[in-house]
């Protein structure tokens, strides 16, 4: 029998009085995924993660981690680790003692990673005996990763792990997550950092106002959005009229410098370039531009106005 997926969320709802923080979320994270969980502040990402870890009760719906319900027993978290919001530790204990506490609550070190091993991975061995209250934000983040790795997880849930880190810390955190993914650990990465998700994740879910606006691979998301083009001709006014009349072409914006359009496919672009030449407005520049994850994120989280404006503005303002 096939093993249940690391995360399977169905119809998940969390209401706080009149407010619905998470609204009918469905989500599947498959084994080996490095899964990006994206959404603006207040979209419901952290609330979803808390329900996945059994920290808060759903108002409706279900969460299954490897087929087990974390609301019923903490045994559902076997093989699962991570943190929501910033990782927290007892400030009056040393980093080492905090890890010993985590290890003890996990049932000792039988079958688990050793504390030395995880301290080495997160490069905290030298400061392990210092009290956590003296740790920087970045060190606490790394200690959070260390405490998660102690469980030798098969599934890691990380909520904004790079928040508050300096550029070097963010780079190190990305390398660590990539490394964990390459070791076969399934990762759910909640993040605001589009480039981080684009760099690390193979699949994403974008959540808006508590609802999943998109779930799937990054490639599918890009394909769905299509390619936009920047066009300059010898006569942009005439080119605008030609584009408007051309089948499969949709003008996105015009300016004195250039024109931006979206095409159904490459054949439509080829036909357009011929039509432009025949109409006496030959092409000076025709540049395709694939939407970035950030563009797609804004499209999905803020509706059609903002992304088109942002993406198109970039297109028509790019220097030739």
Binding site for other proteins (CB under 8 A): 47, 50, 53-57, 73-75, 77-78, 80-93, 97, 101-102, 104-108, 110, 147, 151
Enter the DSSP assignment of 94. B
Task: For other proteins, give the closer residue by CB, 105 or 219.
Answer: 105
Q: Closest approach of Cβ 81 to other proteins, in Å?
A: 7
Q: How many CB atoms lie within 10 A of CB 24?
A: 14
**Kindly report the CA angle at 43 between 293 and 51, in degrees rounded to 5?**
115
Task: For other proteins, give the closer residue by CB, 151 or 308.
Answer: 151
Q: Closest approach of Cβ 203 to other proteins, in Å?
A: 24
Task: For other proteins, give the closer residue by CB, 136 or 195.
Answer: 136
Q: Closest approach of Cβ 178 to other proteins, in Å?
A: 24
Q: Closest approach of Cβ 176 to other proteins, in Å?
A: 19
CA end-to-end span of the chain, whole Å? 57
C-alpha to C-alpha distance for 257 and 125, rounded to whole angstroms: 57
Structure tokens at 177: 């997550």
Task: For other proteins, give the closer residue by CB, 24 or 78.
Answer: 78
Structure tokens at 226: 């299509």
Q: Closest approach of Cβ 260 to other proteins, in Å?
A: 43
C-alpha to C-alpha distance for 155 and 31, rounded to whole angstroms: 8
SS3 of residue 218 by DSSP: helix
Cα dihedral 47, 50, 55, 60 in deg (nearest 10): 60
Task: For other proteins, give the closer residue by CB, 161 or 307.
Answer: 161
- H helices of the chain, where? 45-52, 95-105, 115-121, 137-149, 167-182, 194-200, 218-225, 236-245, 266-278, 293-302, 305-317
Q: Closest approach of Cβ 88 to other proteins, in Å?
A: 4
Task: For other proteins, give the closer residue by CB, 26 or 97.
Answer: 97
Enter the DSSP assignment of 242. H
Expressed in percent and rounded to 5, the helix, strand and coil fractions of the chain are 40, 30, 35
Task: For other proteins, give the closer residue by CB, 18 or 256.
Answer: 18
Q: Closest approach of Cβ 103 to other proteins, in Å?
A: 9
């Amino acid at each position: 029998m096939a093993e249940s997926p690391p995360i399977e969320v169905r119809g998940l709802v969390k209401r706080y009085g009149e407010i619905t923080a998470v609204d009918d979320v469905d989500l599947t994270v498959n084994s080996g995924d490095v899964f990006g969980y994206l959404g603006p502040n207040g979209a419901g990402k952290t609330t979803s993660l808390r329900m996945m870890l059994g920290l808060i009760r759903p108002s409706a719906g279900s969460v299954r981690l490897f087929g087990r319900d974390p609301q019923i027993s903490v045994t559902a978290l076997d093989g699962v680790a991570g943190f929501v919001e910033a990782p927290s530790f007892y400030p009056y204990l040393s980093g080492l003692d905090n890890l010993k506490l985590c290890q003890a609550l996990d049932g000792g070190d039988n079958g688990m990673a050793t504390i030395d091993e995880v301290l080495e991975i997160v490069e905290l061995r030298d400061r392990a005996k210092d009290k956590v209250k003296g740790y920087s934000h970045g060190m606490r983040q790394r200690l959070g990763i260390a405490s998660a790795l102690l469980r030798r997880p098969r599934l890691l849930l990380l909520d904004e792990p790079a928040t508050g880190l300096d550029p070097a810390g963010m780079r190190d955190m990305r390398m660590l997550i990539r490394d964990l993914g390459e070791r076969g650990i399934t990762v759910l990465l909640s993040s605001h950092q589009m480039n981080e998700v684009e760099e690390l994740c193979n699949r994403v879910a974008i959540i808006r106002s508590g609802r999943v606006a998109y779930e799937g691979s990054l490639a599918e998301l890009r394909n769905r959005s299509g390619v936009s083009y920047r066009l300059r001709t010898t006569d942009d006014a005439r080119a605008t009229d030609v584009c408007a009349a051309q089948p499969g072409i949709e003008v996105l914006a015009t300016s004195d410098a250039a024109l931006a359009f979206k095409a159904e496919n490459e054949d439509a672009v080829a036909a357009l370039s011929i039509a432009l030449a025949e109409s006496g407005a030959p092409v000076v520049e025709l540049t395709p531009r694939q939407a970035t994850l950030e563009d797609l994120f804004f499209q999905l989280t803020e509706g059609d106005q903002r992304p088109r404006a942002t993406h198109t503005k970039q297109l028509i303002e790019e220097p030739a």
